[in-house]
Structure 1
Amino acid sequence: YRYFKEKGVDVIYFGGGTPTVYKNDQLERILQSVNRNIIFAEGYEFTLETTLHNLNPEKIELMNKYGVNRLSVGIQSFSDEGRKFYNRTYTKAEVKERLLDLKSKFNGEVCIDIIYNHPTQTVEDAREDARVIKELDLGSSSFYSLMVHEGSTLSHDIKDEKVKLQDDLKRERELHDAFVKELTTDSDYYVLELTKIAKAGRDNYKYIKTRTFGGDTFPIGVGAGGNVDNISVFRMKKEMGMFVEKSEYQQRLDRFNGLFQFPTVEKDVVNEILNFTEQKVFEEVMSELKADGFVTENETHYNLTSDGLFWGNNISREVLTTVVEKTLEITKK
Structure 2
Amino acid sequence: MTRYYRPVARTDHVRPNGAMPLAGGWCWFDMAEEITRDGTSRLIHASNLPEDVRDRLTAPRVSICGLSFDQPRLMGILNVTPDSFSDGGRHNAPDQAIVHTGAMITAGADLIDVGGESTRPGAEPVPINDEISRTVPVITAIRAAHDVPISIDTRKAAVAQAAHDAGAALVNDVAGFTFDAALAPYCAEHTLPVCVMHSQGRPETMQHDPRYDHPALDIYDWLSERAEALMEAGIPRHQIIVDPGIGFGKTRAHNLVLLQNLSLFHGLGCPVLLGASRKRFIGDLSGVSEASERVPGSLAVALAGVAQGMQILRIHDVAETAAAIKLWRAATEGEAG
Query: TM tier, shorter chain?
Result: 0.3 to 0.5
TM-score w.r.t. the length of structure 2 is 0.35
Q: Which has the larger radius of gyration?
A: 1
Relative to its length, the structure with more helix (as a share) is: 1
Q: Indicate the structure with greater strand content.
A: 1
Q: Which has the higher contact order (CA 8 A, sep 6+)?
A: 2
Q: Report the TM-score, using the length of structure 1 for normalisation.
A: 0.35
